[in-house]
Structure 1
Amino acid sequence: MIAPPGIVKSSFRKAAPGEIIELTLGGEEIVLISSLPTGYAAILCPAGWKAFQRWKLTSFRVANGSLRACGKGRPAGFVAARFLLNPPTNSKVFHRNGNLFDIRLSNIVAIPRSLLKQAGVEAARGPDYGRDVQLRDGRRRSYRKPMVPSARRRIGLALENTPGSEPTGDPG
């Protein structure tokens, strides 16, 4: 098993499937739980681990390309990141650092599918959107300028910032 960044490899050992290890990573308390049957380590914050324990979801399983929280009487389990956030059904859960096994509350974010769809529309319009366009019959058509910040920028801000931090960069 590969040690998470910030942990000295000599102090990190391969955990048995289902084992729970409490560590400090970069000054932040974390809980490592090895998943069944692979033994890959899931990284949680203490608050997230308490939420899983409250619902008696005390083991993790890798299935269908996602990390699932399981417990007694719930062999199929729930998608762990979605369970922690409890977002509306029309939103998609993303991991800020791209690690599907890092389900700390500061690392996961839910983005509405409508915002993702709007970002696709903005990308298809291209850079000339918002300018006057001359139609084939000679008439001119003026399009409404896109919202500032754009949907693509709002998605980028949601993925780069941790909760409670100030946005960085120009919003336009």
Structure 2
Amino acid sequence: MIHSETVPVTVVEAEETHRKGVTSSANIGSFEEHSTGFGSKMMAKMGYMEGGGLEKNGQGMAQPVEVIQRPRSLGLGVKFSNNPGESVGNISLGVGAESLGLGVGLSNSLCEPARNKPSRVGAFEKHTKGFGSKMMPKMGFVEGKGLGRESQGITTPLTALRLPKSQGLGAKS
């Protein structure tokens, strides 16, 4: 047996919904109207007065920090504008991958490597026994020629850079 019930429908004016989207410093904690207001209660217990600062004697920040949504998968040092029309390709990078020696260009150039000075193969192994440098000639590698069956590969090795733990590729060093 099915029972039908009538559900009252409330109509919301367009002005009311428009006003809800606008926030001011007076409406900072207004999002807690539907909850228990834990954050506002704790702030009041700690001496916060609305409109005053956060530090002792109210001299701290009075306005909340503005949140900026960053593009995905970019490092911390990348500078970008907040224009929504700007594509990720137009973002200015502090240091491109080509200057990091990765051999991949992010600029208008045709992906040419940025290695300015050729280095001797295996020069990084001076402090070790040189296992890699000994094995390369045994496998037919001749210094100055490329890798591969017909020596068509790269002639200079890729340089490795160690970046700080939380720094992305786009950060200035």
**Range of TM-score over shorter length:** under 0.3
Between 1 and 2, higher relative CO (CA 8 Å, sep ≥ 6) is seen in 2
* TM-score, normalised by the number of residues in structure 2: 0.23
Structure of greater Rg: 2
Higher percent of residues as strand: 1
* TM-score, normalised by the number of residues in structure 1: 0.23
